[in-house]
Amino acid sequence: MDVAIKAFQQVLYIDPGFSRANEVHLRLGLMFKVQSDYESSLKHFQSALIDAGPASFSKLEIRFHVAHLYELQNKHRAAREAYETLLQEQELPNHLRADIQRQLGWMYHTVDSLGEKSYRELTAVQYLQKSIEADPKSGQSLYLLGRCYSALGKVHDAFIAYRNSVDKCEGNADTWCSIGVLYQQQNQPIDALQAYICAVQYDKGHTAAWTNLGILYETCNQPRDALACYMNATRGSNKPVNPNLAPRIKFLQQQLANAPMPSVTKPRQLMSIEEAWNLPVTTDMRPATTPSASSPTSPGTNSDRTSTSTSSKCRFYITSSRTKQA
């Protein structure tokens, strides 16, 4: 990429009046953005914005990138203003409207400076719902909506959003990790295990899923499996590692080294990580209510029925699967 950047910069230096200078600025803006050089990226996008020459991105799309750069630079108020101004454009295409509303929704959910928490959470949900209306196929917006519902304690709504996200984009490890968190919070360790395994099978370097899986195993008094998960959480990921992992790993290593050999094998609450890893990756889920004595219902029937109580267990029954990829 550095070679391409130098080549494009040479074009602008040698011929400032180049007929496709607008496209060159656009390409440089994109490449600098990928390299996290946001100031340089912003400079080139702004140059592309004022250039009347032809380019592969519309002016509205370029303005979206400018707003997103403000967001990446933590200039949240400038980003919000730029996004909201874009939403007022009559000719804004639906896919771009959905992207803008998704960004605004997640900003309101995560940025404290944008207002009081209850207001921000409500606004976040509203923007994400509008994003889904503009682009019903967006698994990412559904996933983020689930995160917002989860933060609000709306467990049932969160599960439904996650389920719909999986329907749109089954291989999203983040969604499966969040499903695992909800199951764990609902005290459903076996279901949580299955969800976390799905997450790490889709993304073997998913630090959060491996960490949460380790916590789950520790909670179930399976330190050897917990240690294996924590070790995996520290490998092969560009995401920051939880600083508490290192002392936790050291503690478990010492505990296992000093533990006497058990004379009788105790029953385990969860299957081992090796056994769980061999489970097929789930590709289809549907919620079902827990059958009552007066209404015997198997998981294979009444697929449209869901519990409306957030205090009841929200179980996703597996209806199909495929072999995980190596």
Phi, psi for residue 183 in degrees, rounded to 5: -60, -40
pLDDT at 53: 84
Total tally of structural domains belonging to the chain: 1
pLDDT at 281: 59
pLDDT at 314: 39
pLDDT at 61: 96
132, part of any domain: no
108, part of any domain: no
**Rounded CA separation 90/92 (Å):** 6
The two three-digit tokens of residue 100, written as one number: 């803008």
Give the rounded percent of residues in the chain with a pLDDT score beyond 70.
82
299, part of any domain: no
Task: Please identify every stretch of the chain with a pLDDT value under 70, giving residue numbers as ranges.
Answer: 170, 236-241, 261-266, 280-326
pLDDT at 296: 26
Tell me the sheet residues that pair with 321: 282
CA angle 115/116/119 to nearest 5° reads: 90
CATH number at residue 238: 1.25.40
CA-closest candidate to residue 214, choices 189, 233, 186, 187: 233
**Rounded CA separation 34/153 (Å):** 35
**3 state SS for the chain:** CHHHHHHHHHHHHHCCCCCCHHHHHHHHHHHHHHCCCHHHHHHHHHHHHHCCCCCCCCHHHHHHHHHHHHHHCCCHHHHHHHHHHHHCCCCCCHHHHHHHHHHHHHHHHHCHHHCCHHHHHHHHHHHHHHHHHHCCCCHHHHHHHHHHHHHCCCHHHHHHHHHHHHHHCCCCHHHHHHHHHHHHHCCCHHHHHHHHHHHHHHCCCCHHHHHHHHHHHHHCCCHHHHHHHHHHHCCCCCCCCCCCHHHHHHHHHHHHHHCCCCCCCCCCCCCCHHHHHCCCEEEEEEEECCCECCECCCCCCCCCCCCCCCCCCCEEEEEEEECCCC
Tell me the sheet residues that pair with 282: 321
The two three-digit tokens of residue 253, written as one number: 């290593």
Chain mean position to CA 219 = 25
Cα Dmax for the chain: 82
Contacts of 129 (CB under 8 A, 6+ apart): 145
222, part of any domain: yes
86, part of any domain: no
Across the chain, mean pLDDT equals 83
Domain that holds residue 227: 195-257+271-290+310-326
324, part of any domain: yes
38-44 contacts: CB < 8 A, separation 24 or more? 38/69, 38/72, 38/73, 41/65, 41/69, 42/66, 42/69, 42/73
117, part of any domain: no
200, part of any domain: yes
